[in-house]
């Protein structure tokens, strides 16, 4: 995809011949060919942190994939679980089952694509100020989780570009009484992330 200078702002696979620039809600990524088999990588995030890398390649072009990833890297990779705190709780009557769509945060992963596989080159969070942890359970044996407030939405189409994806949650109440669900906690590696254009 990129002959000369190109500006992109969507998830996808990009082949860069000379240079390209990507913009995602205050995050800027620039890739430029600086030698026959060498590219420079520059990223400025929403907190004005700068990252520079040099990428040697075996061909005359560079292929990358930009995709949503599980929200586990920012501010540090400390948790393997996600805690979604529903802004509006869900009531489930006894013996009922339902599916709901909820917002779940995502980060952006940048992958170097070569020789039939992908290597993680970088990752960014477009909303670092909302990134925090919480403890689910007791202080002695609880589970450290990536915390995010969440709202119930109508469908997969309701995701906010580059900041959240939509998670389908299947609920089933086998109890003999109704209950209110105000949060869910899950292992992030049990959830697959898909994308189309700017949505996850």
Buried b (16+ CB within 10 A) or exposed e, 33-46: beeeeebebebbbb
pLDDT of amino acid 2: 40
- Taking 70 as the pLDDT cut, the residues of the chain under it are 1-8
Q: How far apart are CA 106 and CA 126, in angstroms?
A: 9
Q: Half-sphere exposure (CA, 13 Å, Cβ side) for 151?
A: 6
pLDDT of amino acid 75: 80
Tokens 């205050």, located at residue: 26
pLDDT of amino acid 126: 85
Residue 25, CA distances (Å) to 16, 45, 183, 196 in order: 22, 9, 28, 17
Q: What size, in residues, is the chain?
A: 200
pLDDT of amino acid 46: 87
CB 38 within 8 A of CB 56: yes
Buried b (16+ CB within 10 A) or exposed e, 91-124: ebeeeeeeebbbbbbbbbbbbbbeeeebeebbbb
pLDDT of amino acid 1: 41
Q: How far apart are CA 172 and CA 92, in angstroms?
A: 8
pLDDT of amino acid 4: 40
Contacts of 25 (CB under 8 A, 6+ apart): 46, 126, 127, 161, 162, 163
CA dihedral 72, 146, 25, 114 (to 10 degrees): 10
Q: Which helix (H) or strand (E) holds 72?
A: none
pLDDT of amino acid 76: 81
Secondary structure letter of residue 61 according to DSSP? S
Query: Biggest alpha carbon distance in the chain?
Result: 69
């Amino acid at each position: 995809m990129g002959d000369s200078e190109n500006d992109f702002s969507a998830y996808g696979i990009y082949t860069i011949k000379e240079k390209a620039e990507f913009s995602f809600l205050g995050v800027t990524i620039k890739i430029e060919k600086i030698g026959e088999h060498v590219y420079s990588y520059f990223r400025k995030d929403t907190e004005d942190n700068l990252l520079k890398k040099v990428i040697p390649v075996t061909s005359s072009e560079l292929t990358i994939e930009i995709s949503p990833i599980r929200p586990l890297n920012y501010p540090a990779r400390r948790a393997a679980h996600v805690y979604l705190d529903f802004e509006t709780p869900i009531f489930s009557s006894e013996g009922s089952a339902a599916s709901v769509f909820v917002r779940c945060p995502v980060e952006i992963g940048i992958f170097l694509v070569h020789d039939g596989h992908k290597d993680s080159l970088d990752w960014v969070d477009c909303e670092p100020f909302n990134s925090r942890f919480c403890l689910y359970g007791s202080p002695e044996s609880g589970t450290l989780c990536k915390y995010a407030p969440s709202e119930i939405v109508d469908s997969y189409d309701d995701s906010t570009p580059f900041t959240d994806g939509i998670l389908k949650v299947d609920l089933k109440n086998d109890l003999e009484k109704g209950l209110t669900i105000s949060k869910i906690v899950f292992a992030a590696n049990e959830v697959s992330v898909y994308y189309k254009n700017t949505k996850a």
